[in-house]
Amino acid sequence: MAEKGRIVGIDLGTTNTLVASVRNRVPRIVPTDKGTLILPSVVSLSPRGDLVVGGVARDQMVTNPKNTVYGAKRLIGRKFDSKTVQALRSYYTYEIVEGPEGDAAVSIGGRVYSLPEVSAMVLGQVKTIAEQFLQAPITEAVITVPAYYTDNQRQAVKQAGQLAGLTVKRIVNEPTAAALAYGFNRGLDQRILVYDLGGGTFDVSVLEVKDNVFEVVATGGDTFLGGIDFDNRIIDFVVDAFHQETKVDLTKSPIAMQRVKNASEAAKIDLSLMQNVTIELPYVEEKKGRPLDLKVPLSREQLNSLTRDLVDRTFQICDDVLTEKGITRSSIDEVILVGGQSRMPLVQQRIQEHFGKPARKGVHPDECVALGAALLGESLDTATDAVTLLDAVSMPIGYGLATGRFRKIIDKNHRVPTQKSFRVPPPTKPGAPFIEIDIFQGDSEFIVDNEYLGTVKLPAAATGKRIDFRVDDECLLHVFLEDAGEPREVKLATRDTPEVLKKAIAEAMTKRSQQEEREAAEKGGLFSSIKRLLGGG
């Protein structure tokens, strides 16, 4: 008889992916075949034309930057035209292209891959690693995502798991998984704050833990704030210092930039332990046929002043999250640190200053998310040690109005599962045969700033019928329409750029001053995507 498949917990990170399993009721990280506990979340095309994953792929970042995909977590589940994707296009060394249905996709060796396909390669690799180590087939997984992920991003991760041959038993928020790793079976009655500063995202969640009931009371975050931003500050500093000394612009050489990037991250990590480092790169460039070496000293103090505003932003987000719910800083019993970047001494010092207590020791910032996911997986699989997770919607869900405004249907921090109903509005153009409801998720009152999730297309006769937005335990959205008195699930269609969004974008563009347009164009940000959307270049 075939052995029953096992369940694992997977922390699919921006930089690294970890897999954990529960053995004898204790969760443990599964080591890779290289003996490390992490697998770099990188996919690359080898010189032989094979797709490789993990450390081998990361090693090619310098020599083959165009065909090495990293940071996929920032792109997955996003539209090609979204602000985030457009900003990342100018920064990432590989090519980000438009995939089917307007999704962001990547080109590796001239072939287009969807982001779920890329993440599936990473998940497939950790599945193999776990199968070899545990000597058993792995068929199921709990996969973690940032609390601040939209419905689309969650759906895309779920799809990646399925493509990797896994039944995704649950998508769970990273801070919730971290809280589980901390509080599981400890009989606690505490209010905790999870401060998660990873490679690409910042998440903060406040949870109330009572025995094995974990209730999320508030969440917030920024999907564009993480270790990479700290690295960028060092990269700019190093490039400037080199330019001042040699008048050579390193940004013109992708290989030199990749080396500066790797060295900058390594220096940043070293500065968590040491007070001073020197970034040294022999033969980084040439000038008139002569090799140029790079040697830039960097102190912890300098790093702190280069990145202080980034750290400040994380605490501003913490305060916003607390204020929104009327929670005082002093009522937080424990602060749990998650994510590699939270190891920075400045972060730890600021935690102490801000919350009046040091962060909780003994919770491993890199491992706790995967460990918590494994614990949840085990509790779903067996009846013992049952865990109750009471999660919350991290960003409002609603639909776009013809004015470009966002009509909120489900509020932020609303406990899941939840359901909210409204009446189907009449067609925007009188007499039109169809009604199109474009669904968005985000904090802004304008749809142009929020993420487009999909469109419900209904016949005009549906006007006035009841429509339900249901958000399930995994924070995934399902839309139901009243049909002969019964709710019937409607599938969301996706469109490259819904009309209402095009209009909102056009209006946003005309409102901007010439100066702002120029700035945005320089950054390759919204303006260039707007121009392209409208066929202007």
Per CB under 6 A, residues contacting ligand AMP are 13-16, 198-199, 227-228, 265, 268-269, 272, 339-341, 343-344, 366
Torsion, Cα 441 444 445 450, to 10 degrees, reads -40
Kindly write down the DSSP assignment for every residue of 262-302, as one continuous string: HHHHHHHHHTTT-SEEEEEEEEEEEETTEEEEEEEEEEHHH
Catalytically annotated residue among 117, 174, 436, 451 = 174
**CA pair distance 179, 185, nearest whole angstrom:** 12
Which residue, 60 or 144, has its beta carbon nearer to ligand AMP? 144
**Any idea of the CA torsion for 152, 155, 157, 160, to the nearest 10 degrees?**
-120
Q: Does 196 qualify as catalytic in the annotation?
A: yes
Of 78 and 268, the one with the shorter C-beta distance to ligand AMP is 268
CA distance 450 to 446: 7
Residue 385 CB, nearest distance to ligand AMP (Å)? 26
**Which of 73, 169, 261, 412 is flagged as catalytic?**
73
As given in the structure block, the two tokens for residue 168 are: 């995704």
Q: Cα dist. 355→134, 220, 333, 350, 352 in Å?
A: 41, 17, 9, 8, 6
Q: Could you say which of 11, 151, 203, 285 is catalytic?
A: 11
Closest contact distance (angstroms) between CB of 304 and ligand AMP is 12
- Choose between 198 and 220: whose C-beta lies nearer to ligand AMP: 198
Minimum distance, C-beta of residue 6 to ligand AMP, in the bound complex (Å): 24
CB-closest chain residue to ligand AMP: 227
Closest to ligand AMP by CB, 235 vs 393, is 235
β-pair type (16-23, 6-12): antiparallel
Q: Which residues contact 492 (CB under 8 A, 6 or more apart)?
A: 439, 453, 454, 455, 456, 479
| Cβ-contact 284, 292 below 8 angstroms | yes
Among this protein's residues, is 324 annotated catalytic?
no
Q: Are 198 and 402 in contact (CB under 8 A)?
A: no
Residue nearer to ligand AMP on the CB measure, 36 or 246: 36
- The residue (of 81 and 366) whose beta carbon lies closer to ligand AMP is 366
Distance in Å, CB of 194 to ligand AMP, minimum = 13
Burial class of residue 485 (count of CB atoms within 10 Å of its CB; 0-12, 13-18, 19+): exposed
| Alpha carbon distance 58, 510 (integer Å) | 43
Q: C-beta of 13: minimal distance to ligand AMP in Å?
A: 4
Looking at 117, 151, 196, 367, which residue is catalytic?
Answer: 196
Q: Closest separation between CB of residue 11 and ligand AMP, Å? A: 8
Catalytic residues: 11, 73, 174, 196
